[in-house]
Amino acid sequence: MDNEEKVYSFTAKVGRDELFRFHFYSVYCNMQGVIAIILSVLMAVICVMSWGKINPGLSVLLIIAAVYYPVYKPIAILAKSAVQSKNEAFVNGIVYTADKRGVTVKVGEEQARFSWSNVTRLVKRRQEVYLYTGRLFAYIISREQGGEALEGMLGLLADYKPEYDEQEPEEGDAENDI
């Protein structure tokens, strides 16, 4: 039996840790995140080099600006993830069913279907897969919970979205745009 005849189904719950990794990835693993970290380091260097030479209020502002992205933002992301993880859909799990036509996503009694052509991006990480169906909308799927059914679903994606180049993550995390 080849992928054309197969149906893969699994349920995936999304917890605080999965949400934290997704939000952290969204904020820091792009050009905006790199620039923000560079600016934070630059602000810290300016603060240290100008300590005592400039107005103390400006020094305090530089310290606040320097710690925003590397310290405050991850804490805020963790708090946001903890609140979001209590959402009924994440607690009860999302049922994914994939076949040659696409994926059906069921949450409670509601369900939606999207075809493989609606997948705009796939990000494979060590512990999760992010399946984007829009610029800002992604399904977060734990590799552990998806197991072989997730791998089968990714095989269907490779079959029905030909420009997709299937690559496994290396030692770090990998990103595949399709």
pLDDT per position as a tens digit, 69-115: 899 999 999 999 999 999 999 999 999 999 999 999 999 999 999 99
Whether the CB-CB separation of 47 and 66 falls below 8 Å is answered with: yes
Cβ-count burial 30-39 (b if 16+ within 10 Å, e if not) = eeebeebeee
Find the mean pLDDT for residues 134-153.
Answer: 93
Find the mean pLDDT for residues 122-127.
Answer: 93
Q: Is pLDDT larger for residue 159 or for residue 15? A: 15
Residue 95, beta-bridge partner list: 11, 106
pLDDT of 6 > 50? The answer is yes
pLDDT of 152 > 80? The answer is yes
Whether the CB-CB separation of 62 and 47 falls below 8 Å is answered with: yes
Find the mean pLDDT for residues 8-12.
Answer: 97
Which pLDDT score, from 0 to 100, does residue 173 have?
54
